[in-house]
Structure 1
Amino acid sequence: MNTESIAYGLPRLNEPAPAFSAKTTHGDRTLADYKGKWLILFSHPADFTPVCTTEFMGFARNHDKFKSMNCELLGLSIDSIFAHLAWVRSIKQNFDVDIPFPIIEDLKMEVARAYGMIHPGAADTQAVRATFFIDPNGVLRAMVYYPMSNGRSINEFVRLLEALQTSDKYGVATPEAWCPGDKAIVPPPKTVEAMNERIAEGPKQGMEVTDWYFSKKSV
């Protein structure tokens, strides 16, 4: 039994994200600073590591896309501000990529523990590759964990954010590999009357009705 996880707890979907106050490469930041915006909070094992470097460049290249979707980015590792600054400078010098988002200094592992980023089976003193989607109301909407050895797909995070925002706006779900422009899934009916109405009237309402529980529509 992992008593450390029990002691600190783990964040849970559709509940308020753990509050934090931290020093970053762009000054002090708190979770409350992002109220009214989406926030993607993501951790990396360590500065000056090759896989993390590719991920940070991927986030940087998609920074404007996230901004256009009312989403801010916030990185984290258990390194000092000075290490973060030196690494950001190194990325600029070696790859000509600017890192436009803040990186949290988490030497005491306070944020990492609050968000369940420390997995002793992977490393006792480093945060695993964890990514958290927090909505404008401060609610945790998605969590994605990757192993230390493998980099994340930033394009997938763009797609997931688009899917979450589409579900919120239209009250729909999204199927596997959904992308903007694809049809979304309409929630299934919950009564016999609604089921019969879906089968009879769904196509007239612009739905693609495969069966009573499986219908799609354009959004």
Structure 2
Amino acid sequence: MSLHIGDTAPDFTVETQNGMISLHEWAGDSWVFFFSHPADFTPVCTTEMGRTAQLSSEFAKRNVKPLGLSTDTAEEHRKWIKDVNETQHTTLEFPIVADADLAVAKLYDMIHPDESETAAVRSVFIIDPNKKVRLTMTYPMNVGRNFDEILRVIDALQLGDRKRIATPADWQLGKDVIIPPSITNDEAKTLFPQGWTEHRPYLRTLKVD
């Protein structure tokens, strides 16, 4: 199954090292950073799981719940997490989906046969509180994710929802944003009474809090 931006994230009930969860119920009113990794007890995956745990406060302040996945068992997850905590100097508490039968990986198109028939590639799904897929990214097995980018895009999505803006290339919090072309100047005067800079009729920038 191929998932597109705007699709409802498919629900599932599955075992994790912390017990059974159902995605939609577990997510509640939070955003979800759902990410897969190829296998427990592997080096790149260990650093990614550790980095996610290290950033727990950053995810929490954005109302984001991390959810990992690999095609290993919950018992393997529990054993591996001890290594993650020791080598990455952290405490991993978020759930990791145990997907030994590949059911969730196939549901989310995480199995890419040219990479592996049984291990998931490094997929990312950002899911909003309405359970809509807002972003997808896929990394090959030998390339670790950029967590600065994951946090950046969550910030951009959340600010866009609050302020009805778009964000330019390489945008960071505090930098100028863009008024989308779908908003007329008359509407923009109400939405953005602080005014904006018009570089072209289609390119209007401003700062927002």
Give me the TM-score of the superposition, normalised by structure 2: 0.92
Q: Which residue of 2 is the match for residue 214 of structure 1?
A: 203
Gapped regions of structure 2 (runs ≥ 5): none
For residues 152 and 60 of structure 2, the distance between their equivalents in structure 1, rounded to whole angstroms, comes to 14
For residues 147 and 118 of structure 2, the distance between their equivalents in structure 1, rounded to whole angstroms, comes to 25
Identical positions, percent = 37
* AA aligned opposite 1:129: R
Q: Which residue of 2 is the match for residue 10 of structure 1?
A: 2
* 1:42-191 aligned within 5 A: 42-188=35-181
1:22 CA drift (Å): 0.7
SS of corresponding position for 1:127? coil
SS of corresponding position for 1:156? helix
Count of residues paired in the alignment: 206
Contact 1:189/1:212 (8 A) holds in 2: no
For residues 171 and 92 of structure 1, the distance between their equivalents in structure 2, rounded to whole angstroms, comes to 40
SS of corresponding position for 2:3? coil
Gapped regions of structure 1 (runs ≥ 5): 1-8
Contact 2:49/2:84 (8 A) holds in 1: no
Contact 2:47/2:88 (8 A) holds in 1: no
For residues 83 and 57 of structure 1, the distance between their equivalents in structure 2, rounded to whole angstroms, comes to 16
Q: 1:187 to 1:165 in 2, by over 3 A?
A: same
SS of corresponding position for 1:166? helix
Q: 1:204 to 1:38 in 2, by over 3 A?
A: closer
Worse-superposed segment, 90-99 or 115-124: 90-99
Contact 2:34/2:67 (8 A) holds in 1: yes
For residues 173 and 193 of structure 2, the distance between their equivalents in structure 1, rounded to whole angstroms, comes to 23
